[in-house]
Amino acid sequence: MRHAISRSLWRKILVTCLAVVGFVLLYEATTFDSRDAAPQGRVDPTLPAAGARLAFTATAYCKGRTTASGVGVRTGIAASDPALLPVGSVVNISTDTAKYNGVYTIMDTGPKVQGRVLDIYMWSCNEALAFGRRPVEVTVLRLGWNPSASTPSLVDRLFRRREAARNARPPATPPTSATGGDGATATPAEAQPVSAPEPDAEPSHVTPLPPPAP
């Protein structure tokens, strides 16, 4: 199989394209969230929308063993004001240090975390103290546990763009046919069959010849 693929350039291109498409579909796939099975109520329109980029202030904490959501503390979680980012939200944080850039899940809250403030959990208290308080940019990837309040994926954007282009096309109008007074469709004159006149058995304009002399 390896020799057959290496001999043909087109087979290499085909295998590469299939691998890329499979990776994109696997990366963009979403899984069913059992927390969304129960009705969660309507999303507050005052909350940040999925895909919004907001300016926040980030701090760090290292104490505690259990978050407000009930799970244990670990790297990759953060605390926020539930009035802005409810528990279960997923955000992408961009800081001035590449080490702390990445995706975080909001799993904790705190009395001092109010407004546009994120508190990032760190294992080392020395690192949390060195992190201090700094401005960050937050991109909301998902708001709460609701998957429908997520940033649209690449596949969804492509399908929506195609549907929008399809709906923008004007509908084709069928050609109208002329109708007579009684509602019957009129046939063009050139389409009607014309019958040729039948020749007379004996033309009336021909004078008969006199009989020959004896």
Residue pair 123/77 in contact by the 8 Å Cβ criterion: no
Give CA–CA dist 12/7, Å, rounded.
9
Instruction: Name residues whose C-beta falls within 8 Å of residue 163's C-beta, 6 or more positions apart in sequence.
Output: none
The rounded radius of gyration (Å) of the Cα atoms in the chain is 39
> What is the model's pLDDT at position 158?
62
Residue with tokens 């399809």: 166
Task: Break the chain into its structural domains and give their ranges.
Answer: 53-151
pTM, two decimals, is 0.52
Query: pLDDT tens digits, the chain, 214 residues: what are they?
Result: 555 545 678 888 888 888 888 777 766 554 444 444 433 444 455 568 888 899 999 999 998 889 998 999 999 999 999 999 999 999 999 999 999 999 999 999 988 899 999 999 999 999 999 999 999 999 999 988 876 656 665 555 565 566 666 666 665 555 555 444 454 444 444 445 555 555 554 555 555 556 666 5
Domain 53-151: assigned CATH number: 2.40.40.10
80 burial via Cβ count (<10 Å: 0-12, 13-18, 19+): buried
DSSP state, residue 37: S
94, β-bridge pairs: 137
Sign of the dihedral through C-alpha 95, 99, 101, 105 = negative
Report the 10 Å Cβ neighbour count for 153: 15
> What is the model's pLDDT at position 78?
96
Give CA–CA dist 49/44, Å, rounded.
10
For every residue of 56-74, DSSP letters joined together read EEEEEE---SB-TTSSBP-
> What is the model's pLDDT at position 22?
79
Give CA–CA dist 154/163, Å, rounded.
14
Residue with tokens 């040729």: 196
> What is the model's pLDDT at position 32?
42
Q: Which of 143, 139, 141, 119 is nearest to 131 (CA)?
A: 119
> What is the model's pLDDT at position 51?
87
Give CA–CA dist 148/86, Å, rounded.
15
DSSP state, residue 12: H
> What is the model's pLDDT at position 75?
92
> What is the model's pLDDT at position 146?
73
